[in-house]
Amino acid sequence: MPKALISFVRAIEAMNRVIGRMAMYLIFVLIGVLMWSSISKVAFLPSLWTLETAQFVMVAYYILGGPYSIQLGSNVRMDLFYGNWSYRTKAWVDAFTVLFLMFYLGVLMYGALGSLAYAMGYFGMQPLEYFAEFFGALFTGGFEAAGEKLGYLERSSTAWRPFLWPVKLVLAFGIFLMLLQTLAELIKDIGRIRGVDL
């Protein structure tokens, strides 16, 4: 295997390991938010922000931990046949099936970018062009020029009314990390087929 591919796999796995290990601790944030929700309902006036905050933290916990879960191989598999196959046969099947996962994640990524663009005030049908313009303005003109590309920022329809772009940004980032991890898994499977264990 070329050294560039090996370095790519190691870099992606190191990054996803760090992010996944940090995301594991979001469960404690979630517990704290839900405890405060219970306490405030009994002892004080109920807090408006707790339910949506818990949902946002759960999204971050799930989506940022997903690439690390793929890396560890702790995702659900049906071992009816798979468990009895040889190491190389498993690598062939994994290399084939990961392509379907990559396609699915690509569709999800496009939808996540469209949803993020909508949350940032873009109501057109070309979210990729919008982000190209937005980041072009950010790099050439700074935050002020990028701010001019923003439209009406989407807010939740609840009483608390938080902005939705932060959670949608986390969602798009997490799907991007999953795409990178599945690409690393494909490279590792090809390596296994060729007899190289990454």
pTM of the model: 0.89
pLDDT greater than 90 at residue 50: no
- Cβ-contact 50, 34 below 8 angstroms: yes
Backbone angles phi, psi at 97, to 5 degrees: -75, -25
Predicted confidence at residue 32, as pLDDT, reads: 95
Digit-coded pLDDT (tens) for 137-196:
889 988 888 888 888 888 888 888 899 999 999 999 999 999 999 999 999 999 999 888
Model confidence band, residue 28 (pLDDT cutoffs 50, 70, 90): very high
- Look over the chain and give the mean of its residue pLDDT values, rounded to a whole number: 90
Model confidence band, residue 10 (pLDDT cutoffs 50, 70, 90): very high
Predicted confidence at residue 40, as pLDDT, reads: 86
Predicted confidence at residue 103, as pLDDT, reads: 97
Digit-coded pLDDT (tens) for 62-119:
999 999 999 998 877 777 788 788 888 888 999 999 999 999 999 999 999 999 999 9
Q: How far is CA 77 from CA 61, 64, 82, 84, 184, in A?
A: 21, 20, 8, 13, 19
- Cβ-contact 160, 53 below 8 angstroms: no
**Domain-wise residue ranges, the chain:** 3-75+85-193
pLDDT greater than 80 at residue 7: yes
Listed residue (172, 178, 177) closest to 112, CA to CA? 172
Digit-coded pLDDT (tens) for 113-135:
999 999 998 888 888 899 888 88
In angstroms, how far is CA 1 from the centroid of its own chain? 28
Predicted confidence at residue 67, as pLDDT, reads: 95
Other CB atoms within 10 Å distance of the CB of residue 141: 13
